[in-house]
Amino acid sequence: MATKRDYYEVLGVDKNASAEDIKKAYRKLAKECHPDLHPNDKQAEERFKELNEANEVLSDPEKRARYDQFGHDGPNMGGFGGGAGGFDFSGFGGMGDIFDQLFGGGMGASAAQRRNAPMQGNDLRYDLRISFEEAAFGCEKSFEFTRSENCDTCHGTGAKPGTQPKTCPTCKGTGQVRVSGGFMVTVRTCSTCGGTGKVITDKCSACAGTGRLRRRRTASVKVPAGIDNGQTIVMNGQGEPGRNGGPNGDLYIQITVRPHKLFKRDGTNLHLELPISFTQAALGADIDVPTLGGGKTTVHIPEGTQNDAEIRLKGQGIQQLRSAYRGDLILHIRVEIPRRLSEKQKDLLRQFEDASSGKEYETRKSFLDKVKELFNG
């Protein structure tokens, strides 16, 4: 099942945002993540789609009101008048039923579309941003999110306490009506009850008969050490409530890891570019290198270390998710050639050059030998 993020969160606006605020937020974000600016970036494309969907609902006062009541069920639920732009499955449902009768089921979708059947609630998505270190070492995070819940006053029935929803007189509680059209009988969702099979005569005042209320909730999640950017943690049953006795949906927490100033990550390995001076490279040196989490370790750079050399520190990388294994820290040596030398330094280097025999530079010597062969053919 596709997961959905709260539309207000998608647009980055408050639940009480004005129509103008929503329009502004949408324009700004749409510019930022327009697919033309991010060719071949699947994530940007998804984000753009999500943004348009959120805008379509929140910019329409009627759809927005339904969303505020029902969450993601609201805008498209035909039963509550969400016809235009929404999905009307009634035709397919009818076909499904006919096929079900002919082939003994297996068309699948029709049962789920019968709106008085038990259905799992919608899954929700929350985007959680954590630091590089939090991902590496694990953390516990609490966050706020919005979901629709069953109304406490009527326990989700939508009927005034003390009253009960009544069986729909039009469809006799089946949620469907049969319509003959030519040689085929189609089954349509009952328009009186919206397919629920029940009508509410005395509406609950707390939820205006919808049975649902939008609530702000705080949840806490344990993020395991080693989680990576784009991975998801599922909190079972923390999504929107099921209908007709169906189970709750789940809450999917999608992790975004903020980049680190120094370290780069590749699975369980860490990479660090380590600039050293050309004298350190030539003579060798012991250098303090930062490790993730604020520590440091002393690393020996051997005499004659070349640019782009790699030094691997075993077990100093990132812990593998749900395992004791730790990857490596790989140092990428960048030998820096000094600039803006003083006259004294230049003199010393000239003396150094004069004292060179040429065999100090293996690669250069072999190159020059090949050039010589080429010309002497």
Q: Please report how close the Cβ of residue 258 comes to Zn ion at its closest, in angstroms.
A: 41
Q: Which residues of 302-333 are buried (b: 16+ CB within 10 A; e: fewer)?
A: eeebeeebebebeebbbbeeeeeebbbbbbeb
Stretch binding Zn ion (CB under 5 A), from 27-35, 36-44, 151-159, 254-262: 151-159
Stretch binding Zn ion (CB under 5 A), from 76-84, 114-122, 143-151, 319-327: 143-151
What's the distance, Cα to Cα, between the start and end of the chain in Å? 71
**Cβ atoms of 67 and 54 closer than 8 Å:** no
Q: What phi and psi values does residue 194 have, to the nearest 5 degrees?
A: 70, 20
Of 170 and 269, which CB lies nearer to Zn ion in the complex structure? Answer: 170
Q: Please report how close the Cβ of residue 206 comes to Zn ion at its closest, in angstroms.
A: 4
Q: Which amino acid is at 238?
A: Q
Q: Please report how close the Cβ of residue 190 comes to Zn ion at its closest, in angstroms.
A: 3
**Cβ atoms of 154 and 201 closer than 8 Å:** no
Tokens of 17: 């945002």
Q: Please report how close the Cβ of residue 186 comes to Zn ion at its closest, in angstroms.
A: 16
Of 121 and 317, which CB lies nearer to Zn ion in the complex structure? Answer: 121
Site residues for Zn ion, 189-218, by CB under 5 A, read: 190, 192-193, 204, 206-207
The angle, 0 to 180 degrees and rounded to 10, between the axes of the packed helices 61-70 and 42-58 is 100
Tokens of 297: 């370790």
Q: Please report how close the Cβ of residue 237 comes to Zn ion at its closest, in angstroms.
A: 21
* Total of chain residues touching Zn ion, rule CB under 5 A: 12
Binding mask 153-172 for Zn ion (x = CB under 5 A): xx-------------x-xx-
Stretch binding Zn ion (CB under 5 A), from 19-27, 148-156, 282-290, 326-334: 148-156
| Binding of Zn ion by 151 (CB under 5 A) | yes
Q: Please report how close the Cβ of residue 162 comes to Zn ion at its closest, in angstroms.
A: 12
Q: Please report how close the Cβ of residue 121 comes to Zn ion at its closest, in angstroms.
A: 17
Q: Which amino acid is at 187?
A: V
Of 161 and 315, which CB lies nearer to Zn ion in the complex structure? Answer: 161
User: Where does the chain show beta strands of DSSP type E?
Assistant: 4-5, 124-130, 139-150, 166-167, 176-181, 184-189, 198-199, 212-223, 232-235, 251-257, 264-266, 269-277, 285-290, 296-301, 310-313, 329-336
Of 107 and 171, which CB lies nearer to Zn ion in the complex structure? Answer: 171
Of 81 and 302, which CB lies nearer to Zn ion in the complex structure? Answer: 81
Of 199 and 329, which CB lies nearer to Zn ion in the complex structure? Answer: 199
C-alpha closest to that of 158 among 213, 192, 200, 215: 200
Of 170 and 291, which CB lies nearer to Zn ion in the complex structure? Answer: 170
Stretch binding Zn ion (CB under 5 A), from 17-25, 26-34, 184-192, 347-355: 184-192
**Alpha carbons within 13 A on the beta-carbon side of 159:** 12
Of 135 and 204, which CB lies nearer to Zn ion in the complex structure? Answer: 204
Q: Please report how close the Cβ of residue 165 comes to Zn ion at its closest, in angstroms.
A: 11
Q: List residues near Zn ion by CB under 5 A.
A: 151, 153-154, 168, 170-171, 190, 192-193, 204, 206-207
